[in-house]
Amino acid sequence: MVASLAVLTAALLAFPSVVPNRVGRFGSLLETFLPWLGLAVPLLLVLALLRRSATALVALVLPVAVWGQAFGGRFLPEGRGAHDLTVVQHNVSDVNTDPAGTAAALIEAAPDLVALEELTPAALSAYEKALAADYPHHAVEGTVGLWSRHPLADVRRVDIRPAAIEEGWSRGIRSTARTPWGDIAVYVAHLPSIRLGWSGLGSGPRDESAGLLGAALAAEELDRVILLGDLNSTLDDRGLDPVTSRMDRTDPTRQAFAFSWPASFPVSRIDQVLARSATVSNVRTLPATGSDHLPVTADIRLERGSDDSPTAP
């Protein structure tokens, strides 16, 4: 029995897509918290020792090996290599009582781009004032915004509102950042929350919104694209496939966990930095602010073309 459970654990770690998503979206639920499935190993180890089962002990090598291959590299220090931009993604929380302090904490990371979600009308002016000196260019649409050291152009709303959500819900924006390396399309998005209940994972609106965002990314004319946002799941979740399939995927085994939610005891990174025709590296979290999310920062190396020598924007 214990040996069978060990083999099952290894199989789920290696092939989480075998769990169907049609009922309860249990496949997405498993993928969202996949690294934590490794906690089954010490539990099975105790059972194997209690049963004095040599077969079970040998079988436990399988999930240990699979987990190590999938996630072990994330504990290795990545270091900061060559990069062109540093970005910060942060859901600042609509009940954050210290927007000025939150903005100051983000500035400490010296990013070139700052994406914020859950902006409220009451707090917006505080963020604008605190970020103005370092980020003279910004754009806000609904509850999401982008602050930039570089000029922004072609700002427009991205409609990612699921059909069941009322009019006025606006959580997507697209801008063109005019950088020394050329124009970059920068998207900021906040997908709907998911809910966990007795019937499984309630991710229908999130998945629908991801489909709309994926369509917008597919239609993007610029080669270089950066997506910053609270996507309300990890990149392993198949519900985000419409988005992740449109972006370059960095090798997940080489990227730190950088769990961002909840801030009090982070168990998952649902705040994401993705790019196309660029490489995302050194993903990490910043110290806690007044939000229930931790800020996530990352470096971005842009792909070079023949006419990409730096010029003044």
Q: What is the 3-state secondary structure (H, E, C) of 112-134?
A: CEEEEECCCHHHHHHHHHHHCCC
Query: What per-residue confidence (pLDDT) applies to 313?
Result: 43
pLDDT at 212 over 80: yes
Q: Domain check: are 55 and 184 in the same one?
A: no
- pLDDT interval class at 194 (50, 70, 90): confident
Q: Domain check: are 64 and 183 in the same one?
A: no
pLDDT at 310 over 70: no
What is d(CA 8, CA 249) in angstroms, rounded to the nearest whole number?
A: 28
By residue range, what is the domain housing residue 16? Answer: 2-75
Q: pLDDT tens for residues 43-80?
A: 999 999 998 999 999 999 999 999 999 898 877 767 67
Out of 75, 99, 131, pick the residue that ends a domain. Answer: 75
- pLDDT interval class at 311 (50, 70, 90): very low
Query: What per-residue confidence (pLDDT) applies to 306?
Result: 45
Asked if residue 187 belongs to a domain, the reply is: yes
Count of domains for the chain: 2
Q: How many CB atoms lie within 10 A of CB 241?
A: 14
CATH code: domain of residue 137: 3.60.10.10
Long-range contacts at 259-264 (CB < 8 A, ≥ 24 apart): 259/285, 259/294, 260/285, 260/293, 260/294, 260/295, 260/296, 261/292, 261/293, 261/294, 262/292, 262/293, 263/288, 263/289, 263/291, 263/292, 263/293, 263/294, 264/292
User: pLDDT higher for 110 or 23?
Assistant: 110
- pLDDT interval class at 305 (50, 70, 90): low
Query: What per-residue confidence (pLDDT) applies to 254?
Result: 65
Query: What per-residue confidence (pLDDT) applies to 197?
Result: 75
Out of 56, 75, 94, pick the residue that ends a domain. Answer: 75
CA-angle at 182, arms to 180 and 187, nearest 5°: 110
- Residue appearing with tokens 């496939």: 241
What is d(CA 217, CA 303) in angstroms, rounded to the nearest whole number?
A: 18
pTM of the model: 0.92
Q: Domain check: are 113 and 18 in the same one?
A: no
